[in-house]
Structures are given as C-alpha cells and as structure tokens.
Structure 1
Amino acid sequence: MKLVVLNDNVPAKGLMNEWGWSVLVEGKKRFLFDADTNPLVLAHNSKALGVSLRDLDFAFLSHWHYDHYGGLPYIAELNPGLRLYAPPGNRAMALRWGFDIVEVFKAGEIADGIWTSGPLDDFEQALGMETSSGLVVIVGCSHPGVDRLTKALLNVSGYENAHLVIGGFHGPSRRTLDRLAEMADFIAPAHCSGDFAKAYVRKTYPEKFISVKTGSIIEL
C-alpha cells in the first residue's frame, strides 16, 4: 500500500501547494482522502508525481471545510458516478457534482478492511485501513481530537493500536499528543497540526515521528 500526499501546507520543489490536505491511497482499493482546495493543485501534482486520479474506487471526505472539499468537483468530473463517503450536510451539492454520495452517520466498515470512525460531534470522520503493517489512520483536521478519532477507529476495527496516524491534528495539546503516542507506533503530523505539534512529537517521541509535506510518499 502506498500513500501519496497530493497537497499539504508544507511545499515541495516542482509541486504546487497551498493550505489544504489531500492523500491518494493505492492498495487493494484506490481512493482519495479529502480533495484540497484547488483542482489545479490536484491536477498538477498528480501529473508531476506520476499518479492518476481516474478509476478510483471511492472518495472519502473528512468534513465539509473548503480546504478539504474544494477539489471534489474535479474528482467527480474524472470519475462520473464515483461513490463519496461524507458526513451529512451537503448531499444536494455532492449530487450536483455527480457523486453517488453515501452520508455517514456512524462508525462502521465501508469496504473490506476499511473503516470510518463515524462523524464525531456530528461533524468530522476519519478513516482506518488494514495493512500488512497494521492499522493506518488518516485524519483531516481532527477538530474533535486526533486521539478521539483514532480511538474510535481502534474500537470499530478491533485493533489494539494503530501502526500510523497521519493528517491534520488541529494544533493539539501535549496531553492529546501523549494520548495519541500511547495508541500509535508512528505519528505523521501534517496540514493544520502546527509547528508546536511537529516539534513536540519529534523531540518527545523521535522514534515515532514521520515528516510529511506535499509530495511525500509513504509505502507500507
């Protein structure tokens, strides 16, 4: 399985970049987690990184903030009728774009070995997927708390701990990061995590820290 970071707040040479988050997952299923803000970023970076955004199995939206859903119309154009798993709130808009939208109301398995945490606080969901290394958790902005989202995925998947947690942590506290470290082998703060979170994990849990930026490719 491979995670391709199509956009993160941190730039990379030769790639477009802005405030946003989007990850292409290539494994037993090919799917997009979140869709950044700008379709041009997704189009340019996918071409530069040598990956296709066509023929996806589904798309997954963590929450309805523009820096996560702005590129979805472009994804729908490339994949007519694509299934989109999203929290409730904008069904009509997703249908106009051309998605087969599935509104997620609770935790559960959405494909073989792939789970949603369900929308915590009726707002944001995260995704967990089974790999040969263990459970990989992808989060968007973690407004409800990256520790809470990870715990919800551990509960629904039956795993005791996560191999990797990657995504935006929304400026978490030390206590939140400490709780996350108890549940995860590796931690990759990105997007809205903030400099403090990255520095804290790097210093306190150096064996767990993974640096992420636009164009990062993580193979599992």
Structure 2
Amino acid sequence: MRLTILNDNTPSRGFINDWGWSVLAEGRHRFLFDADTRGEVLAHNSRVLGLSLKNLDFAVLSHWHYDHYGGFEYIAKLNPGLRLYAPPGGRIEELSVVEVHSAGEITDGIWTSGALDGFEHAVGVETPSGLVVIVGCSHPGVDRLTKAILEVSGYEQAHLVIGGFHYPSRRTLDRLAEIAEFIAPAHCSGDEAKAYVRRRYPEKFVEVRTGSVLEV
C-alpha cells in the first residue's frame, strides 16, 4: 500500500501548505482519509505529485473539524455521490455520508474504530506488512483509537500508526509504542511529541510532512 500525504502542518518545497491533514491511501482500495481545509491545497499538491483524486472507492472523515473536512467540497466535484464514512453530526453536498457509530469492517480488509466518545474514528488497513492505522486528530487518544482498531480487526499490534496525535502526553506515546511497530506523528501531534518519539523510540519513529510518500 502507498500512503501519500497531500497536506500536513509541516511544509515541503513546491507544495501549498496549511494547518490540516489529508492522506491518499492506495492499495487493495483507493480512498482519501480527511480532506484538509481547502480544495485548492489538494488540487495543487495532487498535481505536483502527479496524482488524480478522481475514481476513489470511498472516503473517510475522522471528525467534523474544518481542517479535516474543508476540502471535501472539491472532492465531491471530482467524485459525485462518493461514500464518505464519518461520525454523526454533519453532511456534505454531493457526497453520500455513511454515519459511523460502532467499530466494524468498512470493506474487505479495512476497519473503523467506531466513533469514540461519539466524536471521532480512525481506520485500520490490512497490508502485507501488517495493520496500518490512520488517525485524524486523536481527540479521544491515539492509544485508545489504535486499541479499538486492533480489537475489531483481530490484530495484536499495528505495523504503523500515522496522523495527528493531538499533543499527547508521554504516557500516551509510551502506551502507543507498546502496540505499534512504527509511529508517524503528524498534523496536531506537536514538536514535543515528535521529539520524544524520535529520542525515546528512534527505531519506531517515521518522519512525515506534506508531500511524503510511504510504501507499506
């Protein structure tokens, strides 16, 4: 599976960057996880990367904060009627919103944690290397979201956890390190969390930014 970071808080030369998060996942299924704040960011960065954002199988919204759903209006123009798996609480014109309440399998080899605290969910994707967990902002806790994915998928450990960790405590990161082989803090994780994982778990730390491409 290939993960392409269409936007992260950390910029890269040649890309448009703002506060937000969006990842294109391409493997057995091709889907977008979150859509940043603005469609023009996704349009520009996908062109730079040589990617089309048409013909997606579905999309996932972690939670209804603008830095995660703002670009879905643009995605809807490219993919009218696309299924969007999201927690309850909102809708986007021209997308078919499927409300996520409980943990379960979205499609073959992809699971949702369910909307923890009724607010936010994450997804787990089965890959040849193991389970990849993609999170948005992790308001309920990146460790809790990851554990929920492991429980519903039947995996004992995540191969990779990537996304925003919402300025986690060191204790939260320690718990995450116990159940994840690799850790890629991004978006709202904060410099302190990145520095801690890099220092405490150098063998697990994966650096990502806008334009990063990970092959799993």
**With structure 2 as the length reference, what TM-score do the two structures score?**
0.99
For the pair 1:16 / 2:16, whether they are aligned, the reply is: yes
1:140 is aligned, of 122, 129, 136, to: 136
Matched residue, 1:83: 83
Matched residue, 2:70: 70
Matched residue, 1:216: 212
Matched residue, 1:116: 112
Matched residue, 1:106: 102
Matched residue, 2:170: 174
**AA matched with 1:200:** Y
Matched residue, 2:30: 30
**AA matched with 2:191:** D
Matched residue, 2:6: 6
Aligned counterparts, 1:123-162, within 5 A: 123-162=119-158
Report the alpha carbon displacement of residue 101 of structure 1 after superposing the two structures with TM.
1.3
Q: Structure 1, unaligned stretches of length 5 or more?
A: none
Aligned with 1:154: secondary structure? helix
1-structure distance, mates of 2:110, 2:206? 22
Q: Which runs of 4+ in 1 moved over 4 A?
A: none
For the pair 1:42 / 2:38, whether they are aligned, the reply is: no
**AA matched with 2:180:** A
Aligned with 1:137: secondary structure? strand
2-structure distance, mates of 1:212, 1:177? 17
Number of aligned positions between the proteins? 216
Q: What percent identity do the matched residue pairs reach?
A: 74
**AA matched with 2:18:** E
**AA matched with 1:184:** A
**AA matched with 1:172:** P
